[in-house]
Amino acid sequence: PPRPSQYHWTNRTTPDGAPDPYTSFADFEASLKQSKRKLIRQERKKVASYGLDIAVETGPSLTPALADAVHGFYVDTATRRWGTDYLTRDFFRSLFAGPAASDVALVVAYDAGRPIAAALNLVGSHALFGRHWGAARGVAESLPGLHFELSYYRAIEYAIAHKLARVEAG
């Protein structure tokens, strides 16, 4: 059977492999072919037109209410796609409140202050690891491009800002 694939983004290095990280998302975009730059800009413009607030929540901003929302997104995704939702509400609450909270980068889309979608990432010493994407029922279908914005483009922005070598989007 075919093996599942993951999207990995790698920060820039010099020809001899030394780090030469991008300074911004625009710097990264400039390294792409014009057609790819245009596509990314169109996708991001479309998502911006939805009027959502998008934020990366870490450490103390990871509230029990966010844990509950992410758990709800997870349960919806798991039951529709895999049939088993083995991570509990307490798991997410513990993750967000425990010592590992500083290693969580949760990219959240808010509509009128209410979380409607999120991408859960764990921050390693050299990489950002995407672990879960989820949304309120119907959001992903009604807001095309939101998944890519939260799971990929914002993850790349985070990695660039924090000088991480790669994003393993999951």
Order of strands, edge to edge, in the sheet holding 127-135?
Answer: 8-10, 166-168, 127-135, 114-123, 104-111, 53-57
- Listed in order, strand segments (DSSP E) in 61-153 are 104-111, 114-123, 127-135
- Looking at residue 119, its pLDDT comes to 97
Residue 81 — very low, low, confident or very high, per pLDDT cuts 50/70/90? confident
Q: What is the DSSP letter of 3?
A: P
Quote the tokens at residue 134.
């989820």
Whether the pLDDT of residue 83 is over 80: the answer is no
Quote the tokens at residue 86.
């083995």
Residue 26 — very low, low, confident or very high, per pLDDT cuts 50/70/90? very high
pLDDT, tens digit, for every residue of 106-119?
A: 999 999 999 999 99
Count of helix runs (H) and strand runs (E) in the chain: 7, 6
- Looking at residue 115, its pLDDT comes to 98
pLDDT, tens digit, for every residue of 45-75?
A: 999 999 999 999 999 999 999 999 999 999 9
Distance in angstroms (rounded) separating the CA atoms of residues 93 and 70: 10
pLDDT, tens digit, for every residue of 8-20?
A: 999 999 889 888 9
Q: Quick one: average pLDDT of 20-26?
A: 95
Distance in angstroms (rounded) separating the CA atoms of residues 91 and 100: 12
Distance in angstroms (rounded) separating the CA atoms of residues 52 and 99: 30
